[in-house]
Chains A and B, each alone.
Chain A
Amino acid sequence: MSKGEIVAGCLAPHPPHLVYAENPPQNEPIAEGGWEQLRWGYERLRESLAGVDYDAIVLLSPHWQTYVGTHFLGLPNFKSLSVDPVFPNLFRYHYDLDIDVELAQQIHDRAADAGLAVAMMKNPDFRVDYGAITTGHMFNPSWDKPLVVISSNRSRDYYSVEVMQEMMIELGRVTREAILASGKKVVVIASNSLSHRHFTTESAIPEDMSKEHIASHAMHLWDMRMIEYFRTGQAQRILDEMPEFTEQAIAESDGGGLSWLLSTLDVPTYPGILHGYGTIIGTGNAIVEWPARNHKEASE
């Protein structure tokens, strides 16, 4: 069996507003548009990967929040209706997605061997979280690739950003090992925003872009600092500054996705491609791709 490969790593946030604005047939509410820069960013990401052959998507979603270890979807298919509990007016989506259970189990087993608390989720009534559905749709609206969906272990809540990051770096390491051992070509995705301070009010129509902006200047500065690190191949600095970024920007990196992603990519020293940045109800969101397929030498 040939060696597996991570062809790309992506930061691909999940605000339901993007699916709402895009008006896919699965989503019942209809918008006039909005958040175009981010939606164009997703278009550029999809175009960038259009000619790339891969077998599966491994995605860590901050909205499947688990407090007793890290969990993996463990059945071959999940089909149901996803209604966002926070923005039900925007997101009611019929999904039908396939899981690469074999790869999920392989990552699970390696994580267990490494001493991490893990579980396979095999209850057929389980509803996949709307974060995974949103990112899954925006990244691959045809849903023609199987996924591995990993929960967000809220170890930061129980311990600290530092402990969370140690655990997520370990999870990233075993995720990488499992992918390389699997012989499969995989895209890994962290589905989280950057700064994460929401507005507490909303405009009369959600897509009124005259009301959309970053929640505060401090949040903007943090987002730009992170993006500069993304664009210049300084992933280690992102990990180094993760505690301050997570605390001060109230960043959604608290769910561990960004640390896991960078670890899975072996802490890339090559530039990430910024496909888009924009705010959604005040939060900062970047769509970034690390084209690992073009930098194999970096980790060999």
Chain B
Amino acid sequence: MSEGELIGSYIVPVHPHTVLAPEQNEGWGRLRTAYDDAAQRIKESGADLLIIYSTTWPSIIGHQIIADPNPEWVMVDHDFHELGSIPYSFNIDEKFAHAWNEANEKRGLKSRTVAYHGFPIDVGSVVALKLLNPDNAIPAVIVSSNVYANRAETTVLAKACMDVVKATGRKAIAITAMSLSNRMFTKPIEPKDDRIHSLKDDEWNLKILELLGEGRLEDVGQLSRTIHRQIRVNKVVAFKPMWWLSGMNSNRNNLTGQVLAYEALHGAGGAVVHLDPTPSGAGDIEYDEDDVEYFAGERNVLDGDQSDHQEIDSVNVESKPGEPQENGPALWDPTEGKDSVNSAAAPKPVGAYPHARRVGDLLYLSGVGPRQPGTNAIPGGPIHDADGKPLNYDIKAQTQAVVDNITRILEEAGGTINDVLDVTSFLVDMDRDFQGYNEVWAETLGQVGPTRTTLAIRALPTPIAVEMKVIAKAPPAE
């Protein structure tokens, strides 16, 4: 199976006028025509999955993903109920939804799937799926927009989604259901009188659409906070969809963009935009913000930690050599050198060495333990406390975390876990841990088939029970 990919992205408006009343206003009609054009493009693209991020579905505990294979109901808008009802029956990719949920958790996100009869699919998702996928030919997934999520969390959400797209070989389309400016008229208006609420909103919308038309998606993502302040009424969810969509597109700025329509919907800015991954020929990003791989923004409020008021903009917990960590000695930035391979998604070293080094056709990895990138936490728990008092720990969780870290380093090098050739494993308690370690091995690296040597040693630098030294095939140099 070839690796999956994102073959297109669309930005579409959320209000029900395009479904229920396109004939009542020329602008609404033009948005509907653009919607139909986008549907035809998607149909002809060969896409086998639609992924919707909807700003009209807020969530509080992490993100939620629709996993009901066939949600059916009748949707009525809270404001525009006089326009009528929208019956829906959608084709949801249940397996993808569950896989995305698992991928979110692997990247440190809170997430859950939703599959309850009668769950109210939000207006933005209903409008988008009714018009972009009218015959339900292409399965879809829908994800919520978290009220509290910052850029890091939203970006990692996209990366987790792409983990699954790639692993499952899908040809996916990413869709954000959203308004540009979202200020509506606060009183009823005649359809013929609809216009963008203010000249300022219109100017900002045109600025955004100019950037999108040039394929400069990441630039819009980096302007999101400014856009929110300038033209967004502070409703339940702030302006986050460009963070997600840019993350889905590898934070690129050289997409091929086309604005299919831009019109007012009761004063708000509605646009249909197509972003093709084909490079536009323009220069790519000058990347200003952290490229986040793993979310470590857990606020720990359930345990009474008062750090929940800290705004966590970056998950990369910076530490300098010389500052001992809770789970062992000081952390170092991995050394950079010729042929070195280092990953922000892997735990920082405890000394001056790289995560891996390429030599000819081979990759030599430094010893990999289970510590988590960003937090330095040890899945399954440390083997002793700060005073050296032994603690109970889960060797299976530690072993799985080691394999996950190895995977991240190999992926940074352009490879996969399937490239592993030889492993030397170190256990601090062979009698206690060999069986659990061996079980996880059988389910993971055992499926790949590298040679293996397992040694018992007295201790490791951090309070972990297992570490692996790996030699792998190097992917062809570019």
Contact = CB atoms under 8 A, between A and B. Distances in A.
Interface stretch (B71-79, B216-224, B360-368, B443-451): B71-79
B188 A69 contact: yes
Given A69-B187, A199-B61, A211 B302 contact: yes
Contact of B233 (A88, A121, A123, A157): A157
Interface string B130-159: 000000000000000011100000000000
B186 A83 contact: no
A239 interface: no
A117 B188 contact: yes
Contact of B302 (A83, A129, A155, A199): A199
A202 B122 CA distance: 23
A290 interface: no
B442 interface: no
B299 A155 contact: no
A68 to B, nearest CB: 5
A49 B62 CA distance: 39
B36 to A, nearest CB: 25
A86 B266 contact: no
Interface in A104-141: 117, 119, 121-123, 125-127, 129
B299 A201 contact: yes
B234 interface: yes
Given A201-B302, A202-B61, A282-B301, A119 B188 contact: yes
Contacts of A117: 186-188
Nearest to A152: B78
A213 interface: yes
B86 to A, nearest CB: 9
A158 B183 CA distance: 7
Interface residues of A, number: 44
A125 B87 CA distance: 10
Contact of B84 (A67, A69, A71, A123): A123
B235 to A, nearest CB: 5
A81 B117 contact: yes
A186 to B, nearest CB: 25
A68 B122 contact: no
Contact of B119 (A80, A88, A122, A126): A88
A155 B303 CA distance: 36
A154 interface: yes
Interface in B46-62: 57-62
A36 B32 CA distance: 51
Give chain B's interface secondary structure class. Answer: loop
A89 B303 CA distance: 22
B185 interface: yes
B186 A68 contact: yes
A135 B353 CA distance: 60
Contacts of B80: 68
B304 interface: yes
A12 to B, nearest CB: 21
B79 A67 contact: yes
Give chain A's interface secondary structure class. Answer: loop
B206 interface: no
Contacts of A68: 79-80, 184-188, 266
Contact of A203 (B114, B266, B299, B302): B302
A64 interface: yes
Nearest to B59: A86
A216 interface: yes
Contact of B85 (A87, A123, A151): A123
Contacts of A197: 308
Contacts of B304: 213
Contact of A119 (B57, B82, B117): B82
Contact of B118 (A87, A92, A281): A92
Contact of A125 (B85, B110, B233, B298): B85
Interface in B395-409: none
B119 A155 contact: no
A155 B186 CA distance: 8
A60 to B, nearest CB: 14
Interface in A206-223: 211, 213, 215-217
Contact of A151 (B78, B183, B302, B306): B78
Interface string B115-132: 011111010000000000
A123 B76 contact: yes
B309 interface: yes
A65 interface: yes
A142 interface: no
B339 to A, nearest CB: 41
25 contacts: A64-B78, A68-B185, A68-B186, A68-B187, A68-B266, A69-B187, A85-B59, A85-B119, A86-B58, A89-B116, A92-B116, A117-B186, A122-B81, A125-B74, A127-B76, A127-B120, A157-B233, A199-B299, A200-B110, A200-B148, A201-B110, A201-B298, A201-B300, A215-B308, A216-B309
Given A83-B116, A83-B117, A201-B61, 5 more contacts: A67-B184, A117-B188, A123-B76, A123-B85, A203-B302
**Top 3 closest A-B pairs, CB basis?**
A125-B85, A81-B118, A123-B81
